[in-house]
Amino acid sequence: MDNELIKQCEAKAREWLASPVYDDETKAEVRAMLEGDDKNALVDAFYQSLEFGTGGLRGIMGAGTNRMNKYIVGMATQGFANYILKAFPGQGGLSVVVGHDCRNHGREFAETVANIFSANGIKVYLFESLRPTPEVSFAIRRLGAKAGVNVTASHNPKEYNGYKAYWEDGAQVLAPHDKGIIDEVNNVRVEDVRFQGRPELIEIIGGEMDYDYMTAVREAMIDQEVILRQKDLNIVYSAMHGTGRVIVPLCLRSWGFQNIHVVPEQMVVDGNFPTVVSPNPENAEAMTLGMRLGTRLNADLVVATDPDADRLAIVCRDNKGEWMIINGNQTCMMFCYYIIRNKKALGQLRPTDYLVKTIVTTEVISEMARRNQIELRDCYTGFKWIAREIAISEGKQQYIGGGEESFGFLPYDKVRDKDAPASICLICEIAAWARDNGMTLYDLLMQIYLEYGFSYEHTINVVKPGKSGADEIKAMMENYRRHRPTEIAGSPVVLAKDFATLTQYDAQGNASPLEMPATSNVMQFFCQDGTKVSVRPSGTEPKIKFYLEIKDTMGCPGCYAGCVERARAKVDEVRKSLGI
């Protein structure tokens, strides 16, 4: 390890020990790292300051400049408060909404945030206890707040916590506010933070907002009649120890579903997530208990939410009656298919309606939209970009749904982030409609592939922790830019897109501009055989992500297994081509 780097980290650690701001518990943790023989922990904790990015903060909890703790949260909030006061000069009655999920230190961090905003003269609506991320987004708009914060690390492992920053439209912050907030945060020293709150400016909210949110969720419903006919649909739900535990069953009942069962072990609020390795609905392991209960109860489907209830997971029975996890792309496909088909059948579809997906989400949705003459917009990864599309068309066109491959969907416009409670209600409506038509969700998925073509999506996460990992990820992206592949797995690359320079290149290398609202560190390669490869560093975790999409023709429902087998073999070829 670099001795100079160690010395720099030791110097930062000693500054913490010398400062009167930090409490004794924090100093003891810093002292232990400073005096330990292994300097890795010290370097990881102090080699950089945990960056306040466009979505806020996310990191491992603990002492240090590169860790989530009340001091880092405090500096972020002081900077955020400074920006709000500058953005709305002379305006009285400024307010924010603050929430948190089930993670360790979540309530402590949320109260820290509330105290600092109030100390700066900003009224705070603080949720009484843990609440879903989409409800925080909803509350910002409902209460006319100027901003909001939700303390959550979403689906990350238990060691993490985070801080999602929202603007007055209920969406995570975009330009120019993102840069403005970041600049303010970067100018804050820990000594500048006003930790002493003003209780008279903090209002606790809860039940009434829950009711308003659940009322809004009902607007995502498309066909009440099909739910009433299939109200006994057998549903198993898991809250994954998090914020959906109360609100999701209530929402399902408000839609008319009457046969709802919960996974009792995972209804317990616990930031250590004792029943799963990681509380991520993308991981099959996390769904084990739900599937076990589903088998015992002969359920029609199993659904789950991640800890902050923005992502959802769906498990249905395949053609052999075995449980099958519907992946994020398939989930998005099902939602879009049903929304288009049934709004059209019920006369609810309008020429001004539009759908949104992210650039790394399956192109099957593009084909659906094209054939049905529905406008589809492609945007960057992250729901703030979907929210932007809603905002720029508000009052002119109607948003009818949007999603991304990472198990997130938003079926209505009252919220401006991923919304698992609303999406779970809608997927249960879809399952009810399928059963009403003699199908399962699996049968519906096969029908989509038959109509619009088979597609297999596979995400590869290459984890590179620490400073050396960050440097390696940067070098990998630079290499893909300088040496764009001309073929992948034997198929010529016919189009390459570089979103960092907003330039695209055809097969001959001719460049033309890409129209996007901002630059982003993403590369995409489209092959002659329909293969699509997207490469991007994660914005919240120490990894680089490769999104692969493989195309095939599926002639019959029974051909699915063969298509999957061929696609998996193709994935191996793609990996070799890309050197991963």
- Which active-site residues does the annotation give? 154
- CA distances to 329, 488, 550 from 530, in Å: 16, 11, 7
Count of Cβ atoms closer than 10 Å to residue 100 Cβ = 29
Residue with tokens 């209804």: 267
Burial zone of 566 (CB within 10 Å; 0-12 exposed, 13-18 middle, 19+ buried): middle
Range list of H helices, 483-559: none
Phi and psi, residue 306, nearest 5°: -80, 175
The region, left, alpha or beta by phi > 0 then psi within -120 to 50, assigned to residue 170 is: left
Give the start-end residues of each E strand in 322-471.
Answer: 323-326, 353-358, 375-379, 398-404, 408-410, 454-463
373 C-beta neighbours (distance < 10 Å), count: 9
β-partners of residue 304 are 238, 313
User: Which residue is it, tokens 């238990």?
Assistant: 158
b/e for 420-444, b at 16 or more Cβ within 10 A? bbbbbbbbbbbbbbbbeeeebbbbb
Asked if 489 and 567 touch (Cβ cutoff 8 Å), the reply is no
Following DSSP, what letter does each residue of 544-562 receive, concatenated?
EEEEEEEEE---SGGGHHH
Q: Count the alpha carbons within 13 Å of 130 in the hemisphere toward its beta carbon.
A: 24
Nearest Cα to Cα of residue 431 among 575, 334, 547, 501: 334
C-alpha 373 chain-centroid distance: 28
CA dist., res. 479 & res. 459, Å (int): 20
